[in-house]
């Protein structure tokens, strides 16, 4: 029987390129959710990069459908745009890539708030209302990481249903949106989702300013909890952001240490710095924030730029190198609450 390291001993360039999503090639959905006609929310773009995500529009484009045990998505919003209050049943993590976002908690968005800038990370607990507005005068983009292969459905604040009805959108029990303005009718076997009740609202957590701040890691604080098997390499720093202590990788507990079903790390490579050849026993997704990161394997290499996403196959022998003229900042998602140590060539 083949070991897990034999799953991808070699892979050609075409196959690995199929696991790469360039930032400029992201395909948005502009009507992914029930609030996408509500004034103030009607200009947002949602992206499903890896996995099915939580979109309510079956026409949402999925870039990579390979199950990972987590989902990678994205959201882009112009100035003045808002994402309505909602909650999730699985982990929801955001990594700010461009611009700025104000996160708001509570059923009406008034319980607590925090402003985040590029490089900041936030993980909002399950069963808590959250929403976000664009902050500043430029278009803003952030990556999202959702727990599980099936992250479930969104629970919307009551006002979202009321506003959607005014604009002809109805959310069905199947999770599908229909458009009454277009002449869609409600199927007899698929009734509308009922407006979230006061009893449901009362069961959710409420995060005040201090509570939401405790769910955040600032970019400037990323170097406080470092370690990992590459810690002795010159110009390399790996920092724990999300996940419990992981002795197998010699990594301390992250600032956001509760279980998510995945780990998130910040990997920094100085100019000309590199990671030696190694393999991983779980899915590893690279979200490049800054710089030019070269990912090499036996069949060649790919150069990743800011905003690019690459999922590296389990067991593939790989090497990372900074081939640009500035610092590489990359966020790394690895599957499981206790990732294994890398296996070296």
Is 337 within a domain? yes
pLDDT of residue 8 exceeding 90: no
Q: Are residues 248 and 200 in the same domain?
A: no
- Supply φ then ψ for residue 146, to 5 degrees: -110, 140
Last residue of one domain, picked from the residues 155, 188, 216 = 216
Is 286 within a domain? yes
Closest among 16, 13, 22, 15 to 63, alpha carbons compared: 22
Give the distance from CA 215 to its chain's centroid: 15
Q: Are residues 186 and 239 in the same domain?
A: no
Is 15 within a domain? no
Q: Are residues 141 and 278 in the same domain?
A: no
Which residues are 310's β-sheet partners?
20, 286
**Please, which pLDDT band fits residue 32 given cuts at 50, 70 and 90?**
confident
pLDDT of residue 2 exceeding 80: no
Q: Are residues 194 and 240 in the same domain?
A: no
Identify the pLDDT of residue 9: 53
Q: Are residues 235 and 339 in the same domain?
A: yes
Q: Look up tokens 């010159």; give the residue.
A: 234
pLDDT of residue 307 exceeding 70: yes
* Mean of pLDDT values over 221-242: 95
Identify the pLDDT of residue 14: 83
Residue-wise pLDDT for 51-84, tens only, equals 988 777 777 899 999 999 999 999 999 999 999 9
Q: Which is higher by pLDDT, 236 or 52?
A: 236
Last residue of one domain, picked from the residues 177, 199, 216 = 216
Number of Cβ atoms within 10 Å of the Cβ of 203: 8
pLDDT of residue 329 exceeding 70: yes
Residue-wise pLDDT for 249-287, tens only, equals 999 999 999 999 999 999 999 999 999 999 999 999 999
As a whole number of angstroms, the distance between CA 294 and CA 312 comes to: 13
Q: Look up tokens 């002449």; give the residue.
A: 183
* Mean of pLDDT values over 219-243: 95
* Mean of pLDDT values over 177-195: 90
Angle at 38 between CA 45 and CA 130, to 5 degrees: 70
pLDDT of residue 144 exceeding 80: yes
Q: Are residues 194 and 254 in the same domain?
A: no
Q: What is the CATH number of the domain that holds 270?
A: 2.60.120.10
Q: What's the number of domains the chain is made of?
A: 2
Q: Are residues 226 and 203 in the same domain?
A: no
Q: Are residues 195 and 248 in the same domain?
A: no
- Supply φ then ψ for residue 316, to 5 degrees: -75, 130
SS3 of residue 247 by DSSP: helix
Identify the pLDDT of residue 282: 94
Residue-wise pLDDT for 156-175, tens only, equals 999 999 999 899 899 998 88
Is 20 within a domain? no
Burial of 291 (C-beta count, 10 Å sphere; 0-12/13-18/19+): buried
Q: What is the pTM of this model?
A: 0.93
Last residue of one domain, picked from the residues 164, 183, 216 = 216
Is 24 within a domain? no
* Mean of pLDDT values over 97-107: 98
Q: Tell me the pLDDT of the chain averaged across its residues.
A: 93
Q: Are residues 210 and 225 in the same domain?
A: no
* Mean of pLDDT values over 290-315: 96
pLDDT of residue 319 exceeding 60: yes
**What CA–CA distances, in Å, run from 96 to 100, 123, 143, 169?**
7, 12, 6, 30
Q: Are residues 175 and 55 in the same domain?
A: yes
Identify the pLDDT of residue 191: 93
**Please, which pLDDT band fits residue 30 given cuts at 50, 70 and 90?**
confident
Identify the pLDDT of residue 113: 98
Is 16 within a domain? no
Q: Which domain holds residue 234?
A: 221-344
Identify the pLDDT of residue 13: 80
DSSP letters, 154-202, are: PEEPHHHHHHHHHTTEEEBTTS-EEEGGGT----TTSPBPPPPPHHHHH
pLDDT of residue 177 exceeding 70: yes
Name the strand (E) or helix (H) holding 13.
helix 13-17
As a whole number of angstroms, the distance between CA 136 and CA 141 comes to: 12
Identify the pLDDT of residue 1: 40
Q: Are residues 85 and 158 in the same domain?
A: yes
Is 114 within a domain? yes
Is 242 within a domain? yes
Token digits of residue 210 = 């201090």
pLDDT of residue 25 exceeding 60: yes
Identify the pLDDT of residue 10: 65
SS3 of residue 209 by DSSP: helix
Polymer length of the chain = 345
pLDDT of residue 182 exceeding 80: yes
Counting residues of the chain whose pLDDT is more than 90, the rounded percentage is 80
Q: Are residues 80 and 178 in the same domain?
A: yes
- Supply φ then ψ for residue 23, to 5 degrees: -60, -40
* Mean of pLDDT values over 38-49: 91
pLDDT of residue 7 exceeding 60: no
């Amino acid at each position: 029987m083949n070991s897990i390291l034999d799953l991808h001993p070699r892979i050609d360039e075409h196959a690995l390129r199929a696991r790469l999503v360039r930032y400029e090639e992201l395909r948005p959905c502009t009507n992914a959710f029930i609030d996408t006609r509500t004034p103030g929310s009607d200009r947002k773009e949602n992206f499903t990069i890896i996995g099915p995500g939580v979109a309510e529009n079956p026409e949402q484009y999925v870039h990579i459908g390979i199950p990972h045990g987590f989902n990678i998505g994205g959201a882009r919003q112009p100035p003045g745009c808002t994402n309505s209050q909602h909650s999730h049943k699985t982990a929801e993590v955001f990594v700010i890539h461009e611009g700025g976002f104000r996160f708001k908690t509570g059923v009406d968005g008034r319980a607590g708030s925090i402003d985040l800038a590029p490089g900041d990370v936030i993980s909002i607990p399950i069963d808590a209302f959250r929403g976000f507005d664009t902050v500043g005068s430029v278009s803003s983009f952030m990556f999202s990481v959702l727990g599980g292969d099936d992250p479930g459905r969104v629970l919307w604040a009551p006002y979202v249903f009321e506003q959607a009805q005014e604009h002809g959108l109805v959310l069905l029990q199947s999770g599908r949106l229909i458009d009454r303005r277009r002449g869609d009718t409600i199927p007899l076997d698929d009734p509308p989702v009922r407006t979230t009740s006061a009893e449901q609202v009362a069961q959710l957590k409420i995060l005040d300013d201090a509570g939401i701040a405790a769910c955040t890691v600032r970019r400037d604080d990323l170097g406080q909890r470092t370690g990992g098997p590459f810690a002795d390499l010159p110009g390399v720093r790996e920092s724990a952001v999300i996940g419990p202590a992981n002795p197998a990788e010699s990594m301390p507990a992250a600032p956001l240490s509760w279980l998510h079903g995945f780990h998130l790390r910040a990997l920094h490579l100085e100019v000309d710095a590199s990671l030696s050849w190694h393999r991983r026993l779980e899915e590893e997704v690279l979200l490049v924030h800054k710089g030019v990161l070269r990912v090499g394997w036996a069949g060649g290499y790919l150069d990743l730029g800011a905003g690019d996403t690459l999922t590296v196959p389990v067991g593939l022998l790989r090497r990372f190198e900074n081939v640009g003229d500035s610092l590489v900042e990359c966020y790394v998602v690895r599957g499981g609450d206790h990732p294994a140590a890398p296996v070296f060539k």
